[in-house]
Homo-oligomer: A and B are copies of this chain.
Amino acid sequence: MAVRLNVKAIVFDLYGTLVDISVIAERCKEVAADGEAFCGTWRAKQLEYAFLTTLMGRYRDFLYITERALDYTVAHFGVTLDTQQRKRLLDGWLEPTAYPEVPSALAKLAEKYALAVLSNGAPRMLESGLKATEIRPHFRWVLSAQAVKVYKPSPRIYQLAAQKTRLAKNRILFVSSNSFDVLGAKNFGFKVCWLNRSGAQLDPLGPRADFIISDLTELARALGLN
């Protein structure tokens, strides 16, 4: 597959897109009988709290939100965590791994495009995650929701990438594995690639991605960088 997009920059979501957060699911299994359900609730509440605080006009950074979502989850599952266990779970968000193909695909893409990260994550999370995965050097910009104090899929956070890159919306390709992020970016006006790693289902709620890939190597290939 080759696509003609005429874009100058590629902006990436981070969690689930470039970096793997399955270490968190593993750690959840250490503290809860049904670790998978525990992790699912934690992640669902984390996203819900990002949406709710934005809707209420009460931004709090993503570490705060992640902690409150953990508080909810712990109470919901009747789990007791000691200080060490709690820290180990939260630290999971600071110590992701890059998906295997990501470093080499980014290196290729960076030869031709200006690359950026645009994430709901707090600056400390992004810094830590990009350092742990050693992919920081590929990016010209690392942009956090913190700068605009709203979360995806508000248009204001996508606007941040357009401002920083000084490019028209349709000269930017946005890549995300998260359905709500694909919707939000497309709604804003970016060209959008859905990196559907897990065969997930897109929410039938508006504009569709321009194209779909299953790993980042495909993106380099689709853009003609072989």
Which residues of chain B are within 8 angstroms of A68 by Cβ–Cβ distance?
A: 203-205
A65, B155: Cα distance in complex, Å: 20
A76, B75: Cα distance in complex, Å: 28
Q: Closest residue of chain B to A60, judged by CB?
A: B205
A154 near B206 with CB under 8 A, answer: no
A58 sits at the interface (CB 8 A): yes
A12 sits at the interface (CB 8 A): no
Interface residues of A in 143-160 (CB under 8 A from B): 151-155
A183 near B56 with CB under 8 A, answer: yes
Interface residues of A in 185-219 (CB under 8 A from B): 187, 201, 203-206
Given contacts A49-B203, A203-B72, contact A54 B56 (CB under 8 A): no
Q: Closest residue of chain B to A152, judged by CB?
A: B55
A203 near B52 with CB under 8 A, answer: yes
A184 sits at the interface (CB 8 A): yes
A71 sits at the interface (CB 8 A): yes
A48, B151: Cα distance in complex, Å: 14
B183 near A52 with CB under 8 A, answer: yes
